[in-house]
Each structure stands twice: as C-alpha cells, then as structure tokens.
Structure 1
Amino acid sequence: MSQLVEIRDLKVSAKTDAGRTVEIIKGVSFDIAPGEIVALIGESGSGKTTIALTLMGHCRPGCRISGGSVRVDGQDMVTLTERERAEVRGTKVAYVPQSAAAAFNPSATIMDQVIEVTRIHGLMPPEQARTLAVELFRALSLPNPDSIGERYPHQVSGGQLQRLSAAMALIGSPKVVIFDEPTTALDVTTQIEVLRAFKAVMRKGGIAGVYVSHDLAVVAQIADRIVVLRGGEVQESGSTDQILHRAGHPYTRQLLAAFEPVPRSPEEAARVTDLRPLLEVDKLVAGYGPIQADGLPLVRALKSVSLSVQRGRNLGIIGESGCGKSTLARAIAGILPRRGGNIIFDGRELSPDARQRSREELRTLQIVFQSADTALNPAKSVEDLLGRPLTFYHGLKGKARDQRVDQLLDMVHLPKTVRHRRATELSGGQKQRVNFARALAADPKLILCDEITSALDTVVAAAIIELLKELQRELGLSYLFISHDLSVVEAICDEILVMYAGEKIEQLTPATVGSPDNHPYSRLLFSSTPKLDPTWLDSLEQDPELVRAYCRR
C-alpha cells in the first residue's frame, strides 16, 4: 500500500542566541498510511511538535528544515514555495492546536472562523460551507449544532472549543490532520468526550492523523502506531500494542514505568507516631468579586469546606478545573483571605490575610505554585531566589547563606553550578525543583503543592514525586497535594479528598478508590482516567445520568 506521508532523514536546525547553529531533529524517518493515526510521544524538547509542523512545511522562528524530505500525498513540503504550501495547508494537511482558546479570534463568530478555510481556498459557496460545518458539529457531538456557530469563542466551554477547532481543521476535507496535544488542558471527563469525537470522525472519514502527546494512556486510545522520540531522534517505533506491551528500548520502558508512579508504602505512613492534626480547616468559605450584604463574596468558590492534615502525613485534593482546589490552597496560605470558617495550624488559629500573620506562621506554612515560570523572578539568579527566604526567615547572610544554598540545591538533586543561572536558563523540571527548594529554605512543617507536576512530562513528574517522598522521610514534612491526576495523588497521599463545584464530596484512602461505595461523582471521575489499554475507550460504559449531572463539557 502506498504511503500518504513519507518522512525521510528529516533534519531541522536552530540558531541559538549566541549565533551557533544546532541540529534539533536528527535524521528522523517514518511513514503514515491513508487512514492511519501515528502518535509522536516523548518528553518536552524531544521534537514532537517540530516534526509534526514540518508536515505543513512550517518551522518555528529561528528554525529551518536543513535536510531530508517530507512528502504529503506525493508533494515534498520542503521544496515547495511558500505559495504552494499555502495551497496545501487546510486542504491536504490541517492542524488542531493545543490551546483552542488562543487559536480563535474572540471578536468573530465561531461559524465565520470555522468556514474561513473554504473561503480562502474557494472550496464551496458560503451556504454549503455552513451546512457542512453544522454536519461536523453534529459528528463531533457538540450541543445545539444548528446554533452553536452563532456564538463567540468565550461563550462555549473548553471542551467544546477544542472540538470546534477540530471542525475548523476538518472542513477542508484534509487527508491528514495534526493533533498537537489537543486534550492536555482538558479535565478527564471532558477529555473522554473529545477523544471519542475525534476518533469517530477520523474513522468515518478515513482521515490519517499525527497525534502529538506525552500522555501514553491518551495515545493508547487513538493511535494505530507510536513513534517514541528523545533529543530529536527516534528511539523506537511500532504498533500501539507492541510499544505498550513489548517495548524494546530502555527509554520507552522508562516512559511506561513513569505512567504509574510507585504508591507510598504503608510502612512509610506507619513511621509517623505523632498523629495530632497539623492543619485543621473548618467550614471554609472563600471566593471572588464584590462583598454582598451577607458578608460573602459574589462568587463563592469554596462552600463550607472542612479537612485536616496530620503531622508527617499527606492529603490529596482532587477534582476538575473550577472545583475550588487552587482557591483552597490560596485561602489556607492567606493569599486569598477567607470570608468564613476557621484555619487552625500547629494549634493556633491563622489570620485570614497572610499580611496579618507572624513571620513564624509564614515560615512554617509554605506554598509551591503550579507554574514555576511565573513563580520565579526571571531577572534573579537561583542563588538570589533561594537566598532571599534564608535571609528573611533565618537572618542568614554571607558565607552561611551560601553554604545553605548549596545544601538546598543538593536536597533537590540539582548541581551547585545552577546557582548562578536564571530561571529562563533551566528546564521545566529544574525550575520546579528550584521552586520547591525555595519553599524548603523556610524550613516549613507543611507545604501546599498546587498542581506542581501538571506542566511536567511524565518521567520528570515521576522524579519530582520521588523527590517529595525522599524529603518527607528526611525532614518529617507534611503535604497538602492538589492535582487533577489521580495516579500522582495515589502515589504520595495517605488520604484523598474529592471536590466538586466548591464543595467537599468525600474523603477516601487510595485503597478504596474505585469502590462501588464511592460517591457517584467520585466513581465518574475515577472511571474517566485513561488506562494503558487500547480497548479502554471503546469499551468504557458510563451512566448517562451521571455524565449529564456532573460533566461541564
């Protein structure tokens, strides 16, 4: 069978700030048959998106295709002129971005943007394009397919917008579609619907696809073949079943092992002898917007939430976007002053506002934010970032401070040489280690971890989790660990609190997750977490009533 896509010895070069030219894609070759979906997986910087974009003859600023060929339906995208590439884009090859919100123009209706490709290429009259768009909306399981196109992008949910971006890609009847991490930013229950819609439309139309992801479980549901990348080179390729169950390369096996982190052993939890509560939260209320007549904010993100964390133990907070997880962390830290309830920490009630808390209270309760990129000052060196809390909380200066900076870097397994670098010169995993080292500089008793692994690749995230466990054993820390990733929470937490719409649904132990006795929403949430099984999505059966009641798609 002739191949629809043939990539041979592809090389992509990039120019550094210093003017040097480095090869970032190093002789990559693979084929895609008509109707076949091939997944590109690997950690950040492995070249997944760079390779996928070459199917459109496109490179990011500062990069260029320096060798090889990329043939799509017989045309070499490398040798075509820019005008010829423009004719191919949208008609033979189309692109679905990771962030649909950034891809849509907020000032134009959805319908006008979806049918724009047909106007640019003169594919069909506007009325015919609108009719086709509605058919695609229906095929992608979008609500109100006849009228959703009249809305603006901000008037639909994230999951709906992601499916609408797929409609935009499919309306030109392309032969191959590039999906660039299209479900990464979605909640698990929403992700299920989007994956099902993508898979159904691609199968029905016999459309080939390139699916870029670092999530093996998602890839397992949609890909026919998998290409494993690292450092711009192919490590291994094969059928989905072969890669998942008979992986040959050590790096592939490392990716598979990292997908299921090692749970915290009962022996570790049993070492804790002081079972007094370290943190007690009672009927916490917090939110945003103007204060109303009842003294509560207009938007109540937390509605009477109660919890406790014992010394040396960890509590996981899990739930979908918008359920109040991060608001809970901010309210406990005093960044967002609570409007009701009490917070008792280490036997003392904390003031609602962090600015009213003592230096000692601030020191013993630290928070590590989700995005190290925004949490770390890009103008400061690592030495300055770690040195400031050492001076603020402990009065350390000069040589004593320098020695403690070295100790902190050693604790988070970073070389001492990074102390002079700025955050922009570090990888994502290194930034998050510095972020955590800054919290450790205060010598805290409890650390609030707000989605600290969500922006990291699977292998890097697994290493961070193991680091947290090691530090807990050595320092006797407690964690309140917030995440939407159940496997990560199960790996480190002694108990799990499930949240929905600002309320505490229930509290469980990892051993009871998936029990028939769980709350209906918990069962829906846990059942929506993809498994490393290619048959999982097709065989998944969920209660339609539960989906209607709890899914904000």
Structure 2
Amino acid sequence: MTSLVQIRGLRVEATTDSGRTIEIIKGVDLDIAEGEIVALIGESGSGKTTIAMTLMGYARAGCKIVGGSVALDGVDMVALPEKARAAVRGARIAYVPQSAAAAFNPAIRIMDQVIEVVRIHGVMPLEEARSKAVALFRALSLPSPDTIGDRYPHQVSGGQLQRLAAAMALIAGPKVLIFDEPTTALDVTTQVEVLRAFKSVIAAHRIAGIYVSHDLAVVAQIADRIVVLRNGEVQEAGATADILERAQHPYTRQLLAAVTPHHHARTTLAAEVTAAEALLDVHEVSVGYGPLRSDGSPAIVAVENVSLRVARGRNLGIIGESGCGKSTLARAIAGILPPFAGGVVFDGHELGRSARHRSAEQLRQLQIVFQHADTALNPAQTVEDILGRPLAFYHGMARKPRSARIDQLLDMVKLPRSLRLRRPAELSGGQKQRVNFARALAADPKLIVCDEITSALDTVVAAAIIDLLKELQRELDLAYVFISHDLSVVEAICDDIVVMYRGRKIEQITPEAMARPEHPYTKLLLSSVPKLDPAWLDDLRQDPEQVREYCQR
C-alpha cells in the first residue's frame, strides 16, 4: 500500500548566530498511511517539530531543507514553488498548534476565524462552511456548538480553544494533520477531554497525521506508531505497544523511565504543621482582580480564604485544574499580587501584603521561580548579568567575589561555566530553567515558590530538574512550595499536597494518600493522569460534571 506521506533522506540545516551551519535533521525516512497517526517523540531539540513542519514544505527562520523529499499524496512539497505550497497548506494539510491562544486573533469572533481557510481556498460556500463548523464543534464535544462560534477567544477556556483550533484545521477537509504538542499546556482533566475529542474526529474522518510530543503517556493514547528521535536522527521506530512494552534502544528506555520521576525520600511521615513550626504560614488569604466593590472586595475573586503551612526544609505541593487559583496564590505569597484579605507570616514575622512593603531581607529569604524561563529572563542580558544582579542587590558583592559566586551557582545547577557569557536565546529550555533557578538561589533563600517550572520541559529534562531540586534541598536545607498540574512531579517531591478547586482549598493529603484519595474531585484529578497503556483512555470512566456539581455545593 502506498503511503499518504513519504519522507525520504530528509536533511535540514540551521545557521547559528555566529554564521556557522549545522545539520539538525540527518537523513530521516518516514511513512504515514491514510488514517494512521505517527508520533514523533524525543527531548527538546531532537528535531520533532522541524520534521513535522517539512510536511508543509516549511522550515523555520534560520533553517533550510537541503536534501531529501517530502511527498504528500505523491507530490514533493520540497520541490513545489511557494505559491503551489500555499495552495496545499490548510486545504490538504493542516496544523494544530501547541498554543491555541496564540493562534487566534482576540479581536475576531471564533466562527470567522475557523472558516477563514475555506474563504481563502474557496473550498465551499461560506454558509456551508458555517454548518460544517457547527458539526465539528459538536463532534469535538464543545459546549453550545450552535453559538460558541459567536464568542471571542477570551470567552472560552484553554481546553475549548484547543479543540476550536482543531476545528479550524479540519474545516477544509485536509488529508493530513500536524499536532504540535497540543495538550502540553493543559491540566490533566482538560487533557482527557481534548484527547477524547481528537481521537473521535481522527477516526471519523480517516485523518493521517503526525503527533509531536514529549509525553509518552499521551502518545500512547492516540498514536498507532512511534518514532523516537534524538539529535535529528531516528533512534527507534515501531508500533506503539511494541515501543512501550519492548523498547530496544537505550535512549527509548531512558525516555520511558523518565515518565515516572523517582519519589522523594521522606524520613518521617508528614504531620500537621503547627504555627510555631511553620516557616511559611498563609492564613485565610483571599486574592482577586478587577475594580473594588463597595465592601472592598474585587470584582473577580480568584482565591478564597485559603490557609496552608510549610515547615522548614519541607515541601508543599499545590494541585488543581487550570483556573483554580494555584498561580494566583503563588503570586500572593511572593507579594506580586497583594491579597485583599488574610495574610502571610514568614519565619515568625508578618509580611507586607505587597512586595514593596517587604524588607530586602524578607524578599531575599522568599523567592519565586516562574513557569516560563523565556519570559522570566531578560533576553538582552548574559547569564553572568542575570545571576550577578541578585548577588549585588541582596549581598552587596563586589565584582571579584561576585564572579566567583556565579561560578559556584552554575556548578550548583549543573551548568558549565562556559555558558556565563551566553544570552537566554543561546540556551536550551532546560538550561534556561536552570539559570532561572540559579537566580533564585543567588539570594540564598529559605523558601522557593516553584510555579509550574517543569510544565514546558520534556520528560528527561523535567526529571533532571526534579533530581536537582532534591539535591539542593539536602545541601541547603531549602523548603519548596511546588505548584504544578503534573501530578507525578508533585507526588515525587512533596511531603504534603493541597488540592484546590475554583479558588478554594478542598483537601490536604500526603503523597502516600494519593493511592487512595477520598474527595471526589481529588479522585477525578488522579484518575485523569495518562498511563503508559494504549487502552487507558478508552477504558476510562469518569463523570467530571457530577464531581464539579458536588464541589460547588
């Protein structure tokens, strides 16, 4: 049988900032049959997205396809002139991005954006396109399918927007879809809904596609075959079940091992932390956004009456769906977003609600590391500048001792000292997050709030970051507040776990209790974590709406 997609001897080169040319895709072969989904997996920089994009005859800025062929239904996309390629994109091959929010124009209604490709290619009359869009909304299990297209992007949830991006890709009836990490930014319960919707539409339309991901458990639910990549080369390929159960290549086995991080060694069972023992004591904190009402409360309350404690040298995890208030609570603890009620006691002293009302010593002792190192690090500064600033601000270090301390910090986060003169754009995702963490360590803190710091990292790099955090904790007697939607990461590093829903703390459990949760919402969260089993999603039986109704009582 002839493959719908046939890649032969694909080679892609990239030009570095210094003008040097390096080969990033090195002679890759790949076939995809009609109705088949092939997953490309590997760590960041392995070439997954680069290969996927060549199906559209596209190479990112600074990159160039220099060899091989990429045939789509017998037509070589590499050999086609750009005008002919543009006619194929969107009509015969379409793309579902990692960030649907970035793919939509906030000023244009959803329906107009979903059917835009039909208007561009003249595939069908616009009224017919609107009817097909509504049918797709229904097939993708979107709420109010007849009217959701009248909304603007900001009026729907992240999971709904991700499914709408899939509808936009499917509207013109393409033969091939590229899924580029489409569930990476979603919490586990939303991810289940989106994966189910994708599977049902793929089966109904006999779609062929490439699914780019670093999450093997997600790939197990949707892919027929898996291709393992590293440094632009195929390490191993085979049927999904064969790769998961009988992986041959050591690198594939390393990826599989990284799916479940090593658990935190607990010397004693976690117990209730008293106020006297607490390093951090958050008491009845409420946080919100928008204009204030007459009673002094904001128009939108994002965190409501939450209390928690963290003992010295211990770790507290905070979990819950997107929008539950996790990151808002983190910002309130750090003084970035002042609460309108309640307070934060740190090391026995009440902190000012805003960071500007806290002393330099209080700011030094309580640090926060943000989710996206790309936006947290100044792109114009070198690593040396980024790490040197807190050393000068908090410790008043002169140039020579500051330089020596920067070397020590790089050693602590296991980065080569040779990186100190590079800027963030010259670092990998994992390296940037290590610099982000080293900057917090430069203050010599007692507690670090980690806000989704592994969510954008592949499993191998994320596991290495978690191991690093544990090692530094042992050496420096640090405490962590660890916010994440990756429940396996929280289970691996935390002594206690707070479960949040719609701004409220609904339960506090230990990692040991995660095997036998009692609250219905905690059960829903934990049951939504994908397993390395291709049958897991099909066998999963949940009633999320019933659980949410219970939580709102």
- Classify the TM-score, shorter chain: over 0.9
1:377 aligns with 2:378: yes
Amino acid at match of 1:284: V
| 1: CA distance, partners of 2:321 / 2:12 | 38
**Shift in CA distance, 507/431, structure 1 to aligned 2, threshold 3 Å:** same
Conserved 8 A contact 1:521-1:546: no
Q: 1:469 maps to what in 2?
A: 470
C-alpha deviation, 1:506, in angstroms:
0.5
Amino acid at match of 1:369: F
Q: 2:116 maps to what in 1?
A: 116
Q: 1:131 maps to what in 2?
A: 131
Conserved 8 A contact 1:524-1:546: no
| 1: CA distance, partners of 2:355 / 2:124 | 60
1:319 aligns with 2:312: no
Counterparts of 1:228-239 in structure 2, within 5 Å, are 228-239=228-239
Q: 2:420 maps to what in 1?
A: 419
Counterparts of 1:506-545 in structure 2, within 5 Å, are 506-517=507-518, 519-543=519-543, 545=545
Amino acid at match of 1:87: A
- Bigger Cα displacement from structure 2, 367-376 vs 460-469: 367-376
| 1: CA distance, partners of 2:355 / 2:60 | 43
Conserved 8 A contact 1:189-1:551: no
Q: 2:184 maps to what in 1?
A: 184
C-alpha deviation, 1:70, in angstroms:
0.7
C-alpha deviation, 1:306, in angstroms:
0.4
Q: 1:300 maps to what in 2?
A: 301
| 1: CA distance, partners of 2:545 / 2:356 | 46
SS at match of 1:102: helix
Q: 1:280 maps to what in 2?
A: 281
Amino acid at match of 1:312: G
Alignment: residue pair count: 549
Q: 2:453 maps to what in 1?
A: 452
Q: 2:13 maps to what in 1?
A: 13
C-alpha deviation, 1:181, in angstroms:
1.2
SS at match of 2:195: helix
**Shift in CA distance, 117/375, structure 1 to aligned 2, threshold 3 Å:** closer
C-alpha deviation, 1:266, in angstroms:
2.4
**Shift in CA distance, 411/268, structure 1 to aligned 2, threshold 3 Å:** farther
Q: 1:337 maps to what in 2?
A: 338
SS at match of 1:56: coil
C-alpha deviation, 1:383, in angstroms:
2.1
C-alpha deviation, 1:268, in angstroms:
7.6
The TM-score with structure 1 as length reference comes to 0.95
C-alpha deviation, 1:516, in angstroms:
4.8
- Bigger Cα displacement from structure 2, 425-434 vs 392-401: 392-401
| 2: CA distance, partners of 1:548 / 1:502 | 13
C-alpha deviation, 1:381, in angstroms:
2.3
Conserved 8 A contact 1:343-1:349: yes
Q: 2:26 maps to what in 1?
A: 26
Q: 1:258 maps to what in 2?
A: 258
Q: 2:360 maps to what in 1?
A: 359
- Bigger Cα displacement from structure 2, 503-512 vs 360-369: 360-369
C-alpha deviation, 1:549, in angstroms:
3.2
Q: 1:481 maps to what in 2?
A: 482
- Bigger Cα displacement from structure 2, 9-18 vs 149-158: 149-158
Conserved 8 A contact 1:269-1:313: no
| 2: CA distance, partners of 1:530 / 1:303 | 30
C-alpha deviation, 1:468, in angstroms:
0.6
* RMSD (CA atoms): 2.1
| 1: CA distance, partners of 2:547 / 2:172 | 32
Conserved 8 A contact 1:520-1:546: no
C-alpha deviation, 1:183, in angstroms:
1.4
- Bigger Cα displacement from structure 2, 309-318 vs 356-365: 356-365
The TM-score with structure 2 as length reference comes to 0.95
Q: 1:404 maps to what in 2?
A: 405
| 1: CA distance, partners of 2:408 / 2:356 | 29
| 2: CA distance, partners of 1:364 / 1:544 | 40
Q: 1:97 maps to what in 2?
A: 97
Q: 1:289 maps to what in 2?
A: 290
| 1: CA distance, partners of 2:359 / 2:106 | 45
Q: 1:43 maps to what in 2?
A: 43
**Shift in CA distance, 345/84, structure 1 to aligned 2, threshold 3 Å:** same
Q: 1:60 maps to what in 2?
A: 60
Conserved 8 A contact 2:520-2:547: no
- Bigger Cα displacement from structure 2, 449-458 vs 355-364: 355-364
C-alpha deviation, 1:514, in angstroms:
4.2
1:490 aligns with 2:529: no
SS at match of 1:59: coil
**Shift in CA distance, 295/124, structure 1 to aligned 2, threshold 3 Å:** closer
**Shift in CA distance, 435/453, structure 1 to aligned 2, threshold 3 Å:** same
Deviations 1:188-210 (A, max 9, x none): 21111111111111112211111
| 2: CA distance, partners of 1:467 / 1:144 | 46
| 1: CA distance, partners of 2:108 / 2:358 | 48
**Shift in CA distance, 40/348, structure 1 to aligned 2, threshold 3 Å:** same
| 2: CA distance, partners of 1:225 / 1:550 | 40
| 2: CA distance, partners of 1:156 / 1:407 | 46
Deviations 1:152-186 (A, max 9, x none): 33332222222122122212222211111111222
Counterparts of 1:208-223 in structure 2, within 5 Å, are 208-223=208-223
C-alpha deviation, 1:391, in angstroms:
2.5
C-alpha deviation, 1:495, in angstroms:
0.6
Amino acid at match of 1:209: G
SS at match of 1:267: coil
Amino acid at match of 1:534: P
Q: 2:206 maps to what in 1?
A: 206
Amino acid at match of 1:409: L
SS at match of 1:58: coil
Q: 1:171 maps to what in 2?
A: 171
Amino acid at match of 1:175: K
| 1: CA distance, partners of 2:393 / 2:112 | 55
C-alpha deviation, 1:544, in angstroms:
5.1
Q: 2:147 maps to what in 1?
A: 147
Percent identical across equivalent pairs?
72
| 2: CA distance, partners of 1:392 / 1:63 | 40
| 2: CA distance, partners of 1:547 / 1:265 | 33
| 2: CA distance, partners of 1:107 / 1:386 | 39
Q: 1:241 maps to what in 2?
A: 241
Amino acid at match of 1:349: E
| 1: CA distance, partners of 2:88 / 2:377 | 42
- For structure 2, the 5+ residue unaligned runs are none
Deviations 1:349-390 (A, max 9, x none): 112122222222222111111122222222222222222222
SS at match of 1:266: coil
**Shift in CA distance, 482/9, structure 1 to aligned 2, threshold 3 Å:** same
C-alpha deviation, 1:131, in angstroms:
2.1
C-alpha deviation, 1:124, in angstroms:
2.3
Conserved 8 A contact 2:6-2:72: yes
| 2: CA distance, partners of 1:251 / 1:302 | 43
Deviations 1:399-435 (A, max 9, x none): 3222222211111111222222222222221121122
- Bigger Cα displacement from structure 2, 309-318 vs 182-191: 182-191
SS at match of 1:328: helix
SS at match of 1:513: helix
